[in-house]
Structure 1
Amino acid sequence: MRFSLDSYSAYEDFGGIVDVAFDPGLASMIGSGTLVVQSTSAPNPDVTLLEETTVRVVTDDRTMYLLPGAVNQPVRIKVYDRGGPTKADTVLYVCAYSNIIVAQQGGTCQQGVRPNQTVAQAAEQTPPQSILSFPPTVTIPAGDGFTDWYLIDISATGSGATILSYQLHDTQFGTGTGGIAGVPVWSTATYSAIRVYPDEDFSALYTGGALRWQDVYENALRYYDVLFPAMSRFIPLNYPDFLVRQADLVDERLNAPGEPGFWTTYNMPPTRTMSPAKVKLILDFLAQQQPAGQAQKA
């Protein structure tokens, strides 16, 4: 089948989706073969531009929030072969990636020396960044993971954020210690963005009886107040009196994993990063302040 560049306007007008007519006699071959897009003219004659990936891996767990020390938390995986059940075992390579800071070199960012680079987590990184325990390879039996989810168990071994990629090949992109080279194409990759909450202990702040506003602000709210100033248009996070007056709204919007409101649109992604210990600290302060409605601006 040939598709000429003369038809590029059709490609552009329909957002990159093009209907290509084919000979009905080729239906069986198309259904069982591999679709390839190949250039036939200059400047790249006989060059393969795109090749179909017949086996597709998907997950509904694109974001996960784990409590400290969480054990055997399931990641749900499905695998398809041309849209149907697989006919052979599928080997998945599970790789963890993290964001590291790489100094920009020269006037432009070049491949391998970008200021913010997502790279494979390596044991030799200092400090070590591995925060999860997971099987490096998983074999999904033929036909499994089509109608029902195939489960991969992971456990928390530290705190922080990472990306867990479920790959059909064993290439790990980058090392994080030099020689950084390339990253997966995240727009088409199958992965979970995972945050493990820190194991924070604010018990010392309760020893004096009533919680102090300055302690609550410094330990739980200041980060969000500084990084998300637009929030002050709704609830100024450095005005405790205003926060106390909006206690019911704050209680509705702050949830820890496992609570009904955590995955609703009321609980915005930035506040999902707030650890359960921080959520409790804020809500306890508001509960204590309800009768008095007192405090001073931070």
Structure 2
Amino acid sequence: MSVDIKKYLEEKQQLVDGYLEANLPPIGTPPTVLHESIRYSLLAGGKRIRPILTVAAAESIGPPPKALLPVACAFEFIHTYSLIHDDLPAMDNDDFRRGKPTNHKVYGDGMAILAGDGLQTMAFEWCSRVDLVNDIEPYVQVQIIAELAHGSGNQGMVGGQVLDIQAENTKVDFAEIQNIHAHKTGKLIRAAVRAGALLSGANLTQFDQLTAYAEDIGLAFQIADDVLNVTGTREELGKDANTDAERGKQTYPSFYGLKGAKKLAQECADRAISRLSSFDEKADPLRGIAQYIVSRRN
């Protein structure tokens, strides 16, 4: 593999961050407190894995259009909104996120809810603004918006959050755990990769292979998160550790133990990489991301 994945991730993170800064509503835009709240969480230094996956998937096919970055950023909007809402007292009631007090701790519950709402709708705005995405065909644009909606909505991330809440302090089997995380974490990752494939005009075979890759790394990502929740520190994670057990959540380590969960995550990453066997070196960033997901410390 020819790519330095650490360098690639840093470069793409800076690219995404720069695009966000340049295109978000300027500081002081009314209502100012709403935009301050949005910026507080969105620009708090996330890894930007989802938008980077959109970029890497597009690049694995060929030169992407300029619509790539606004579409990629839309997935970060959705992800950040989900974190703001997930941290609320009515959900996971977390005090820290990305190394800072959570949004509702700074701006209050009501403004945190509205900041999340604003980010969600902004995601669809950026995928439909003529000045941002005018170099893709309208039918491709509609497909991308459909991917974003499905990955984040009632049959995707939101549906997974519902299942996750219902499973707290109950005994659920392994199949149900897989179903929860396939929706809560996996569907948005899948949509991010598929959107990148659509942007660069992937053929049906390439689209199916990238979809399978995304489903594998989505599972690997969640297993790695479960492991880090047990083994990580607040300094590493940017949030409190060992919260899953405190909330009575069934996790992959609770089924397999830490060693078994790590092994399962690596198997998912290896399988994801194998899905790309027909792709050339342009897919090396995707291969590197699959391995990074299971070896990260935050």
Q: TM-score range with shorter-chain normalisation?
A: under 0.3
Query: Larger helix proportion, structure 1 or 2?
Result: 2
Query: Which is richer in strand?
Result: 1
TM-score, normalised by the number of residues in structure 2: 0.24
Between 1 and 2, higher relative CO (CA 8 Å, sep ≥ 6) is seen in 2
Task: Indicate the structure (1 or 2) with the bigger Cα radius of gyration.
Answer: 1
